[in-house]
Structure formats: C-alpha cells, structure tokens
Amino acid sequence: MRYFLQRLLQLLIVVFAVTFTVSLALGAIPNAEERILAAKGSGAINEVEKNKLLDSLNLRDPTLVQYGHFVQDLVTLDWGTTFNGNQPISTSISDGLKISIRLMIYGQLIALLLAIPIALMAAYRNGGIFDRASTTVSFGFISMPNYVLATVLGLLFTVRWQWFPAISEDIGFFASPWEHFKNFFLPTIVLALPLAATYMRLLRADLINTLQSDFITTARAKGVGTGRILFGHALRPSLFSLVTAAAVNVGALVGGSVVVETAFNLNGLGRRTVLGIFASEFRLVQVTVVILALVYVTINFIVDILYGFLDPRVRAGRLG
C-alpha cells in the first residue's frame, strides 16, 4: 500500500511538471505571437480578433495565471481551435488518435504474435539452428531504422509489385475490410517487425534464464510434457521484461509512430503534432503532448502494479 501511494505521488508530480513545462513553453518560444499570427494567415485578421486570440491563449498573463488557465482549459475540455482553419482541436486529436491507436494495436498484436512463439522455440532449443537464425534475423530488424524499412518495403511492394497502395488512406474496417487491410498492412508491418525483434530478444533471454531454474527441472521430473513446461511453467515467470516493454510501447507508439505515419501518409496523432510544430499550431501541440504524457505515465503506473499479479513474491513484498 505504501508503495502504491509513493508511486501515485510520483505520478502526480510528473503530471504537474509536464503540464507546467508545456504551459511555460509557449511563453518561451521566440516570437510566439508573430508565429501564431503568421499561422492564422496574418493580414486576414483584424486587431480585435487578434487580441481575442492572444487573450484566449493567456500569453500576456503572469506565468502562474497562465498555468492556471491552461489547466482549467485542459480539464474543462475547452481546448480551442486550430489557428489555421479553426478546426476544433478536440476533433483533430480524436481523428488522429483513431488512426494512431489502430496502428498501435495492429503493430503490437503482430509483434507479440510473432515474438512469443519464436522466442519459445528459440529458447527451448537454445543454441540450435532455429535459435541462431532467429537471433540473427532479429538483430537485422533491430538495426534497421523504421524509415529505412519503410523505404525498402515501399519500394518493393508499392513501386515494384504494386500490391499495396503507396499512400495509405484511413479507410474504416467496416467500410471495406479488404481496403482497410490493404491500407494498413504496410504501416503495420513496418511498425511490427522491429518491435517483434525487440520483444523476441527480451523474452528469449528471460526464458533461457527461467528454463535453467530448478523448478523447471522439478516439472520435468514430474513428467510434465514439453509444451506444458514452456507454456505452463516457463512463460509466465519470464514475461517481466516483455510486459514492461510492450506496455511502455502502448504509450510510446501512440505518439511515436511519427515516422511510419509520415512514410505512409497517415494522419495519426504523432504526424499531426509534428506538422503542428512546423505550422506553429502551438495549442494543438500543447494539448497533444499533455495527453501523450498522461497516457505514458498512467501506463507505467499500471505496469508497476501489474508486476504484482505476475509475480506473487513482488505482491507480497509490496504489501509489507
């Protein structure tokens, strides 16, 4: 319980620090006002509108007041509109989230589906042909930057063979499952392959350790079959690193698949934010960064608590 409260306190401190920094950052940007007005389409805006806009951003208030307003706006979901085009920021973010979350889920699923069986097979026959081959291949994928992978796959599958569209569109699954698949296939693969390689290596290393422990010998001596040893006895205690990595990636991928989104022209959250930075859409960027940070921090918190469920020893230690 004490542990839980400590972690919760740290979470709150981090959230405060992030929101405060983000709020402050706006004031620290050189020529913020000019840039905002430029984004708005400068000449087309009269003095009154201009003042109203800058007032709504509280740019001219003292730091603390600015922060107060920022938090108030965040909490009341009064996020405002984009400077250019006056689209509600909440709409932009939810549109982006829809794509990013979809991409994240597909990528994670494929990565885990690839990584877990491969790691089990590799660890079981540790040092065998399959282990060596899969380790080598995984090294290749870990060393391959996603923009390179996107480039190579793009060249092969869209330019040479034209199996998939070069520019992915956000076509809903229910609108047309086949088109949906075609459009999300390459981005998912580019996201999933390096991820699968990382997961596979983490799980393999932990599994090899677990398979050497005494309780596995006990299970073998009981006559437990190979499959049951792997899935029933070895897998669960070996999941720590994998669960941590996968969970952290849930947050990281939602905002961090910028490169993949850019390569395949998907308007996900990450890409919108990057374009936002370039286009001086500071409000959009502020809100997105806070959301992403919240997601990240919350997930880390959950993972920490989840440890207890994976390992009763940890649970026991923390209750004390």
Partner 1 sequence: MSSLQTAVRRETGTLLEIEDLATHFVTAGGVVRAVDGVSFSLEHGQRLGIVGESGCGKTILSRSIMGLLPRRNVIRNGSVLFEGTELTTMSLKDRQKIWGAEMAMIFQDPMTSLNPVMKIGKQLAEPLRIHLGSTRENAQEIVLKLLQDVGIPEPEKRLEQYAHELSGGMRQRIMIAMALACGPSVLFADEPTTALDVTVQAQILDLIEEQCRERNMALILVTHDLGVVAGHTDQIIVMYAGKIVEIAPTATLFSKMKMPYTEALFQSIPKLDEPSHTRLVTIGGRPPNLISPPTGCRFSPRCPYTTDKCTSIEPELQQAEPGHYFACHHPVGSDRWNEVQVSLGRRTGGR
Partner 2 sequence: MTDIATNTTTDSTAVALPHDEPSAPRKFRRRGRITKWISAAWLVFIVFTAIGASWLPYVNHSCSQFSNEKLCTTHLDTNPLLSERPPSWAFFSDTTRPVVGGAPERFGVFGTDTNGFDIFSRTMFGARNSLLIGAMSIIFGILIGGALGLIAGYVGKKVDKVIDTIMNIFLAFPALLLAIFIVGFFDSGTTSEAKSRSIVPIIIALVILSIPPLARLVRANTIVYSQREFVLAARSLGAKNGRIILREILPNVMPAMVTFAITGMAVLIVAEGALAYLGLSVSAPTPTWGAMIFGGQAKLETAWWISIMPSIVLFLTVLAINLLGDALSEKFRIREAIG
Length of the chain: 320
Compute the chain's Rg from CA coordinates. 24
> How far is it, in rounded angstroms, from Cα 85 to Cα 266?
20
DSSP letter at 81?
Answer: B
Closer of 44 and 175 to partner 2 (Cβ): 44
Tokens of 82: 């984009």
* Residue 30 found at the interface with partner 2 (CB under 8 A): yes
Handedness of CA 17, 308, 248, 202 (dihedral sign): positive
Q: Is 101 helix (H, G, I), strand (E, B) or coil?
A: helix
b/e map of 152-176 (b: 16 or more CB within 10 Å)?
A: ebbeebbeeeeebbeebebbeeeee
Q: Judged by CB under 8 A, which of 17, 65, 302, 319 binds partner 2?
A: 17
Query: How far does the chain reach from its first CA to its final CA, in angstroms?
Result: 8
Q: Pick from partner 2, partner 1, none: which does 113 bind, CB < 5 to 8 A by kind?
A: none
Contact 16, 9 (CB under 8 A): no
For residue 249, give every residue at least 6 positions away whose Cβ sits within 8 Å of its Cβ, in sequence order, or none: 104, 108, 195
Among 99, 193, 258, 287, binds partner 2 (CB under 8 A): 258
Among residue numbers 209 through 228, which ones bind partner 1 (CB under 8 A)? 213-215, 217-226, 228
115-154 footprint of partner 2 as x/- string (CB under 8 A): -----------xx----x------xx-xxxxxxx--xx-x
Q: Which of 105, 237, 252, 275 binds partner 1 (CB under 8 A)?
A: 237
Nearest to partner 2 of 42, 176 (CB atom)? 42
Q: Which of 24, 31, 113, 319 binds partner 2 (CB under 8 A)?
A: 31
In the region spanning residues 206 to 225, those forming contacts with partner 2, defined by CB under 8 A, are 211-212, 214, 216-217, 220
Which span sits near partner 2 by CB under 8 A: 91-99, 169-177, 280-288, 311-319? 280-288
Q: Where are the beta strands (DSSP E) in 89-225?
A: none
Q: Tokens standing for 284?
A: 């959009």
> For residues 95 and 237, is the Cβ–Cβ distance under 8 A?
no
* Stretch of 28-36, 77-85, 91-99, 183-191 contacting partner 2, by CB under 8 A: 28-36
Neighbours of 216 (CB within 10 A): 17
Find the binding residues for partner 1 in span 126-145 (CB under 8 A).
Answer: 127-128
Which of 23, 58, 168, 280 touches partner 2 by CB under 8 A?
Answer: 280
Cα–Cα distance, 295 to 254 (Å, whole number): 9
Residues that bind partner 1 (CB under 8 A): 125, 127-128, 213-215, 217-226, 228, 232-233, 236-237, 310-313, 316
Residues that bind partner 2 (CB under 8 A): 10, 13-14, 17-18, 21, 25, 28-31, 34-35, 38, 126-127, 132, 139-140, 142-148, 151-152, 154-155, 159, 205, 211-212, 214, 216-217, 220, 241, 252, 255-256, 258-259, 262-263, 270, 273-274, 277-280, 285, 288-289, 292-293, 296-297, 300
